[in-house]
Amino acid sequence: MEIFWFIIIAVVLAVFFILDGYDFGVGIIHLFWAKKEKDKEVIAKSAGLFWDSNEVWLVAAGGMLFMAFPTFYASVFSGFYLPLIIVLWLIIFRAIGLEFRSQFKHQMWKDMWDKSFGISSLLLALFFGIALGNIVRGVNLGGVQNNISTYEGHYFFLPLWNNRFSPLSEHPGVIDWFTIIIGLITVVVLAIHGANWIILKTTSSINKQLKKVVLKLNIMLLLLTIFSLGIWQIINPNSLNNFIDKPYLIIFPIIYFSALIGLFFIKKLKKDIQPFVLSTLLILGGITSSLASMFPVILPSTNTINESLTIYNTAATEYGLLVALNWGIVGFILLFVYMIIQKRLMGGKIDKMDYGH
Amino acid sequence: MEDMIFYDRLQFAFTITFHYIFPQLTMGLSLIIVYFKWKYLRKKVEKYNDAAKFFMKIFAINFTMGVVTGIPMEFQFGTNWAKFSELTGSIIGQTLAMEGMFSFFLESSFLALFIFGEKLMGQKLHFLTGFLVFLGSWASGWFILATNAWMQHPVGYEILENGKFVLNNFSALFSNPWLLPAFLHNQIAAVVTSSFVVASVGAFYILRNKNIEYGKLFLKTGVVLGLVSSVLLAFPTGDWNAKNVAKYQPASFAAMEGIFETEEAGSEIILIGQPNMVEKKIDNKIAVPNILSFLTYQKWDKQIPGMDQFKKEELPNNVPALYYSYHIMVGLGTIFIGIMSLAVFFLWKRKLYNIKPLLWAIMFLFPFPYIANITGWYTAELGRQPYLVYGLLKTSDGISPTVSSGNTLFTLLGFVGLYMLLGLLFLVLVGKTIHLGPKHQTY
């Protein structure tokens, strides 16, 4: 039952990163590559129409995590207190940027909210990546100092950074050079994803240029990925053991790398949806590979005194998980219906649509 | 330790108070929008459709605010109340996850379609999407109230040896005797807020001599629905809730009514006065004998336990705040019934649109239902103190063990600053929408 819920939540989280990921990416592209007002307008709109229904996936993932793995939820949310609250603030800045930019037809007003949208999208992508980096690297569970736990074994508190920014020091902070690299990878992945979304959903004048941008970003991504894997081996020499023990898990990294390689051929792809499918697979592969490498651990301990958090020692009881599975199935069927309806009515290029304004 | 609890509570109180400005309007307004849209389908008069779309625009601004201030609410259970989340998450996580699954997905999917899809879908489907948005927003209220009802009156649980609360009866969460009265009271209170807002915009247009046709429609709809909902708020739903508090939380009941001493032959009802915690009495009291016993138990001489019957640890830790919250809510509710009755009387006499003082009063009445809603929630939450889960888990045992008060104060200050900016933008946008009027909106 724990495994069921682990998979469900992983899927919901992956969908969140795929959906809200493209609108983070749109923000990054908007910040650096959109120059003409007409492009800015339509690019912002390609995120603005969808962000709130995308962000609902975060709320859903949060709620399910709370219900299924309450100990993990409590530990991680209080342990990463500051970065999480900062993420909340960025989410607010991004949303008001998107919603308010078109409210007044004044250039200064628009520029201000465009920057708010772009910069907070960039920082959010970075922070979500850093969060993933922290989960993979592990934390000092129990706040162990001199072999004595300061808190109960499943609690911890991380400062934003420590003096050396090193993942190898005894008490690493949230931001160190390993998590920064994972953060950068996330920024690049989401920028690629956002560019592909713009190509799919708009007829903006920079669509051709964006394909070149994707190519450049893809080279960066390949280098960063290889680099991060190397560092990961140094931090945690056992990080690939799961793939050796359970070889079928290797499908996830294969998805990631195939999508990465596929994106090098972006200029040859005829249909606008193909690049977007590839970057979707890229995100899916990246998240599932990270989780598969740790399974069943969901938060490694960096000390030897307190054991890592796993899906088994943080889960709710059997009965609760079972009832939730029942209503969860009903909920997902309903959701699927809504998505089909929405897709039928709001598919296609947004700047060619008649909304009846 | 003390200041940690204080900042955690202050941050939650501040963020939830600000958040609840928005859902109370959207829940009630969605009902009014569905009504206007239905009127349009029946009568095919364009003004009803304009009215529906105009309020949908105001709805959308509020919805955005509600989403961005709502995510911090869910997160804060984990960030600031980790111990509470760890111990009760397998129960309240159920209802909170269901809110995401059954309400937010519904609401957000169809809101976009309602706003952008009128021409794509045709009128009947457009009405249907509006109805689904209404359904989604009320479902959200249902799941949140189910969560709160469990904290007020825990059911369907067992406590394990390690102190964790686990679910053993799922359906009990929804047949909780606390839930239905609280849900109805809360939803009707949301209808009061939105009908007062609609009436206020109507009065503004009439007084300003602009958009008169819409002004009359809004005012008429607002005052009729405002009267009906204000009455339902007091009776039966308010009455049910008070009886529930008397039954399940007698110590809170004594504190919110301001009964310091038990009266053998039936309790008086206190209308006005200030709790004096040192001398344990109400200063400058105006009260009517035996009424409280009658209202609560329909017996004039029924004895109601006062605060003297309870140990200090069982009583809410801020009696005056609880007492004032409750009395402000009840006092405002009474005033609402009075003004709306007057307005409906003159509407029936066909004079309402010409009585300027009453129109001014209605125009400036709109902030007060917000105050009543929020003080109503304060009554529920302060009344539950000193517990998070009534009788079982103390508030002081629910906070995050690792987050220092300095960090919480930092984030509290951040929220205060950010929300001030948000509030300002919100007012500017709603003001702009109302200023443009229903005819000149760009959708």
DSSP state string for B256-298: HHT--S--TT---EEEEEEEETTTTEEEEEEEETTHHHHHHHS
Give the domain extent around B80. 1-176+398-427
Write down the pLDDT at residue B310. 92
- Using a 10 angstrom Cβ sphere, with 0-12 exposed, 13-18 middle and 19 or more buried, the burial of residue B313 is exposed
CB atoms within 10 A of CB B19: 20
Write down the pLDDT at residue A34. 86
Q: Is A354 left (phi over 0), alpha (psi -120 to 50) or beta?
A: beta
Partners of B170 on chain A (C-beta within 8 Å) are: 320, 323
Cα separation, B258 vs A321, whole angstroms: 44
Q: Which helix (H) or strand (E) holds A299?
A: strand A297-299
DSSP state string for A145-178: BTTB-SS-TT-----S--TT--TTSSS--SS-HH
Write down the pLDDT at residue A124. 94
Rounded to an integer, the average pLDDT of A34-46 is 86
CA distances from B91 to A158, B86, B179 (A): 28, 10, 15
- For residue B282, the cross-strand partners are B275
Task: Say yes or no: B201 and B333 in one domain.
Answer: yes
Chain segment B185-194, per-residue pLDDT in tens: 999 999 999 9
Partners of B82 on chain A (C-beta within 8 Å) are: 74-75, 77-78, 155
In a domain, B183, yes or no: no
Instruction: State how far residue B318 is from chain A, nearest Cα, in angstroms.
Output: 27
Task: Say yes or no: B233 and B321 in one domain.
Answer: yes
Partners of A341 on chain B (C-beta within 8 Å) are: 109, 113
pLDDT band at A357 (very low <50, low <70, confident <90, very high): very low
Instruction: State how far residue A230 is from chain B, nearest Cα, in angstroms.
Output: 33
Mutate to test the interface with A, among B12, B71, B135, B420 (most CBs of A within 10 A): B71
**CB B143, CB A63: distance < 8 Å:** no
Residues B93, A335: C-beta atoms closer than 8 Å: no
- Which of the listed ranges A108-112, A202-206, A333-337, B195-199 does the model predict with the highest average pLDDT? B195-199
Cα separation, B389 vs A37, whole angstroms: 54
Task: Say yes or no: B99 and B222 in one domain.
Answer: no
Sign of the torsion angle spanned by Cα atoms B350, B353, B354, B360 = positive
Write down the pLDDT at residue B299. 85
Averaged pLDDT score across all residues of chain A: 88
Residues A103, B78: C-beta atoms closer than 8 Å: no
Write down the pLDDT at residue A270. 80
Rounded to an integer, the average pLDDT of A142-149 is 86
- Using a 10 angstrom Cβ sphere, with 0-12 exposed, 13-18 middle and 19 or more buried, the burial of residue B43 is exposed
Residues A92, B108: C-beta atoms closer than 8 Å: no
Residues B418, A89: C-beta atoms closer than 8 Å: yes
- Cis amide prior to A159 (ω within 30 degrees): no
Task: State the DSSP code for B398.
Answer: S
Q: Determine the residue type at B345.
A: F
In a domain, B311, yes or no: yes
B272: Cβ contacts below 8 Å, ≥ 6 apart: B284, B285, B286, B327
**CB A28, CB A194: distance < 8 Å:** yes
Cα separation, B318 vs B68, whole angstroms: 31
Write down the pLDDT at residue B408. 94
Task: Say yes or no: B198 and B108 in one domain.
Answer: no
Chain segment B252-285, per-residue pLDDT in tens: 999 999 999 898 888 889 999 999 999 988 899 8
In three-state secondary structure terms, B167 is strand
Partners of A99 on chain B (C-beta within 8 Å) are: 61, 64
**CA neighbor of B382 nearest in space, from B278, B303, B275:** B275
**CA neighbor of A269 nearest in space, from A196, A167, A337, A219:** A196
Nearest CB partner across the interface for A67, out of B89, B109, B168: B89
Write down the pLDDT at residue B442. 59
CB atoms within 10 A of CB B27: 24
Partners of A56 on chain B (C-beta within 8 Å) are: 100, 104-105, 108
Chain segment B103-161, per-residue pLDDT in tens: 999 988 888 888 887 887 888 889 999 999 999 999 999 999 999 999 999 999 999 99
User: Which letter, b or e, does each residue of B243-267 get, where b requires 16 or more Cβ atoms within 10 Å of its Cβ?
Assistant: bbbbeebbbbbbbbbbbbeebeebb
Mutate to test the interface with B, among A11, A78, A106, A326 (most CBs of B within 10 A): A78
Where are any strands of DSSP class E within B91-192? Answer: 157-159, 165-167
Query: Length of chain B in residues, anyone?
Result: 443
Cα dihedral: B188, B194, B196, B197 (round 10): 170
Task: Say yes or no: B257 and B347 in one domain.
Answer: yes
- Structure tokens given for B107: 């609401």
Residue for token pair 């247009």: B205
Cα separation, A6 vs A296, whole angstroms: 9
Task: Say yes or no: B230 and B292 in one domain.
Answer: yes
Residues B78, A67: C-beta atoms closer than 8 Å: no
- Structure tokens given for A56: 């609902």
Q: How distant is the alpha carbon of residue B161 from its chain centre?
A: 36
Domain end (from B391, B413, B435): B391
Mutate to test the interface with A, among B4, B76, B109 (most CBs of A within 10 A): B109
Cα separation, B424 vs B60, whole angstroms: 17
Residues of chain B predicted below pLDDT 50: 443
Task: Say yes or no: B81 and B110 in one domain.
Answer: yes
Q: How distant is the alpha carbon of residue B339 from its chain centre?
A: 21
Cα separation, B34 vs B90, whole angstroms: 36
Instruction: State how far residue B4 is from chain A, nearest Cα, in angstroms.
Output: 13
Residues A331, B85: C-beta atoms closer than 8 Å: no
Partners of B86 on chain A (C-beta within 8 Å) are: 70-71, 73-75
Task: Say yes or no: B17 and B154 in one domain.
Answer: yes
Task: Say yes or no: B118 and B238 in one domain.
Answer: no
Q: Determine the residue type at B413.
A: L
Cα separation, B63 vs B69, whole angstroms: 10
Give me the number of domains chain B comprises: 2
pLDDT band at A272 (very low <50, low <70, confident <90, very high): confident
DSSP state string for A194-255: HHHHHHHH---TTHHHHHHHHHHHHHHHHHHHHHHHHHHHHH-TTTTHHHHHSGGGGHHHHH
Cα separation, A270 vs A256, whole angstroms: 22
pLDDT reading at A356 higher than 50: no
Beta strands B157-159 and A309-310, pairing class: unpaired
In a domain, B32, yes or no: yes
Task: Say yes or no: B82 and B129 in one domain.
Answer: yes
Cα separation, B329 vs B369, whole angstroms: 9
Task: Say yes or no: B419 and B297 in one domain.
Answer: no
Among chain A residues, CA nearest to B433: A103
- Cis amide prior to B386 (ω within 30 degrees): yes
Residues B104, A334: C-beta atoms closer than 8 Å: no
Task: Say yes or no: B249 and B326 in one domain.
Answer: yes
B423: Cβ contacts below 8 Å, ≥ 6 apart: B18
**CA neighbor of A139 nearest in space, from A122, A151, A125, A124:** A151
